[in-house]
Copies of this chain bind each other. A is one copy, B any other.
Amino acid sequence: MGWLKDETGLDRNAANFVPLTPLSHLLRAARIMPERTAIVYGDRRYTYGELDARCSRLASALTGAGVSSGDVVATMLPNILAQAEAHWGVPATGAILNTINVRLDVGTIAYILDHGEAKVVLVDSQFLDVVEKALTKMDGPPPTLIEVADPAAGFPASGRHTEYEDFIAGGDPAFPWVMPEDEWESLALNYTSGTTGRPKGVVYSHRGAYLHTMGVAIAWGLTKDTRYLTIVPLFHCNNWCHTWTLPAVGGTIICCRDITAKAIYDAIADEGVTHFGGAPIVLGLLINAKPDDRREFDHIVEVYTAGAPPPAATLAGIEPLGFHVTQVYGLTETYGHITETFWKDAWNYLPDAERYAIKSRQGVGHADMAEVTVLDAESMEQAPWDGETVGEIMARGNVVMKGYLKNPDETAKAFKGGYFHSGDIAFQHPDGYIKITDRAKDVIISGGENVSSVEVEDVLMHHPAVMLCAVVAKPDEKWGEVPCAFVELREGANVTEDELIAHTRKELAGFKTPKRVIFTELPKTSTGKIQKFELRKMVAEL
């Protein structure tokens, strides 16, 4: 411990200790580069000076509406201007931002509003009906709704609530922000998309989010010339904290309401987008875009992809189009990504197949994390770096949630032994790079043998007819469980169940081959993740 023998007068004070918060980035940007373009949504574009003024108006209006320190303000918004503004304007009142997934059902929304005790909800006109219904299902007092109309996108104001622009017009553009007095104060509340039971409310601190913004800027090489497209929803780990990051470097945020190939190509060509994050399925959109939706551009677009490893076929298809893909890995509990496939120079000279195999690894921890590794979940001992011994991905560092709101039991369980338990099963290559084999709950146990659903999916994805697939356990009298595959075929492709099973048999042990193949469109979350719990329901009905 580095305490000098005499530390008299060396304490923290107002000059040498300021609580870390991502709010500081926008305040600084507004002060030092007010004329720089901060954010673009369609025809609207605001400088850092203007964005700061709008966020201040929002904070002021919320305060006027009775919001104060420690309150929760929720949003039900796509990636539009108001959603980005809420990321500064809400915490600038001392309140906690609770972004709600716009695809949720009435019952779950009502649960979240009750559990989080939101005082105000900013709602896009598109989702007004569902939120209004949710209010009627609540047990507690319903929050005030502020409607965010988006006429340009076909969603004019209903007239039933105060509209966002009217609301903030009454606010003070010079409203003094409430800054944290302790960097451990809460900044955001994000409910997991919990596949079983009620969603859990993940709480972020100002400190964690600030440190992640610095880590993201370094890992991704963000600069003032970065033009960042919001594809990852801002209700998903607050857009992996990227939106909070851009003002730190002076870059520009481009808002994207609907994630289509055309919207992405247009943003790249018209707004010069240089960076975006998204699930591999977004890359698929771009590869399979109709000719009319494509645009020419002459720069390289940096892509962080997460949620699933990018399949080799996807990498082979996307690289020649001008996209440079890096896989990152994380969870709602870790503010978005905490690992990256940090690239070694020697790998540039490998054949494509080997490069793609490396890119399918989740990689190593960012500089903002103390440790991301694979431990035996029982003994908490480090798994050997042998490329095969599996354990659970565990992490410790400042980019880990405070815990689950009003759920000390689940919080304690998640932090057992001094590490955050990810629930993801993985091994580490001899160089320490992490490779996920499965979610703990997705492992299939067939005749006492563990089957990695990811391994089976990888083999299926190499079949030319397969566009997307997912493998889950099917209860079996003899084996306990057997693998069952769900497959989306490429347009115009044709293959039979037997042919696909034969294809997997060439690569896999018999107990790992799927015993059934179902051809269907796969259910997905708003971030493009396949919903295996829906597939398990379908299996139960087979």
Chain A residues near B (Cβ < 8 Å) = 1-18, 20, 24-25, 28, 31-33, 35-36, 69-70, 72, 91, 94-96, 117, 178, 180-182, 184-187, 189, 203, 206, 208, 211, 214-215, 217-218, 221-224, 248-250, 342, 344, 364-365, 367-368, 370, 395-398, 400-408, 411-412, 414-415, 418-420, 432
| 3 residue pairs, one from A and one from B, having the closest CB atoms | A9-B408, A14-B418, A2-B185
* Contact between A15 and B186, CB atoms less than 8 A apart: no
* Contact between A396 and B218, CB atoms less than 8 A apart: no
**Which listed residue (B70, B91, B398, B418) contacts A4, Cβ 8 A?**
B70
**Which listed residue (B72, B178, B420) contacts A1, Cβ 8 A?**
B178
Known: A9-B408, A32-B342, A400-B15. A1 touches B214 (CB 8 A): no
* Contact between B4 and A72, CB atoms less than 8 A apart: yes
> Which partner residue on chain B sits nearest A24 by CB separation?
B370
> Which partner residue on chain B sits nearest A370 by CB separation?
B18
Other A-B pairs beyond A3-B186, A4-B70, 6, CB < 8 Å: A4-B405, A14-B419, A15-B419, A16-B397, A18-B398, A218-B248
A401 to B418, CA, bound (A): 31
**Which listed residue (B16, B203, B215, B398) contacts A10, Cβ 8 A?**
B203
* Contact between B405 and A6, CB atoms less than 8 A apart: yes
Most chain B beta carbons < 10 A, residue from A12, A218, A401: A218
List B contacts of A95 (CB < 8 A).
2
Sample 29 A-B pairs with CB under 8 A, ordered by A number.
Answer: A1-B70, A2-B91, A2-B94, A2-B185, A2-B186, A3-B69, A4-B186, A4-B189, A5-B70, A8-B406, A9-B408, A9-B411, A10-B203, A10-B403, A14-B418, A15-B418, A16-B208, A16-B397, A16-B398, A16-B415, A18-B370, A28-B367, A32-B342, A32-B365, A33-B344, A214-B214, A214-B215, A221-B221, A250-B342
Most chain B beta carbons < 10 A, residue from A342, A395, A404: A342
A403 to B14, CA, bound (A): 12
Known: A32-B342, A404-B9. A249 touches B218 (CB 8 A): yes
* Contact between A18 and B94, CB atoms less than 8 A apart: no
**Which listed residue (B7, B32, B396) contacts A18, Cβ 8 A?**
B396
* Contact between B31 and A364, CB atoms less than 8 A apart: yes
A248 to B219, CA, bound (A): 9
Most chain B beta carbons < 10 A, residue from A10, A178, A420: A10
**Which listed residue (B1, B25, B181) contacts A69, Cβ 8 A?**
B1
List B contacts of A365 (CB < 8 A).
28, 32
**Which listed residue (B12, B25, B414) contacts A367, Cβ 8 A?**
B25
List B contacts of A415 (CB < 8 A).
13-16
List B contacts of A185 (CB < 8 A).
1-3
A412 CB to nearest B CB, Å: 7
* Contact between A5 and B117, CB atoms less than 8 A apart: yes
List B contacts of A6 (CB < 8 A).
405-406
Known: A4-B405, A69-B1. A15 touches B420 (CB 8 A): yes
A470 CB to nearest B CB, Å: 31
A247 CB to nearest B CB, Å: 9
A80 CB to nearest B CB, Å: 24
Most chain B beta carbons < 10 A, residue from A13, A14, A178, A182: A13
A411 to B8, CA, bound (A): 10
* Contact between B420 and A16, CB atoms less than 8 A apart: yes
> Which partner residue on chain B sits nearest A344 by CB separation?
B33
Most chain B beta carbons < 10 A, residue from A203, A367, A419: A367
List B contacts of A208 (CB < 8 A).
16
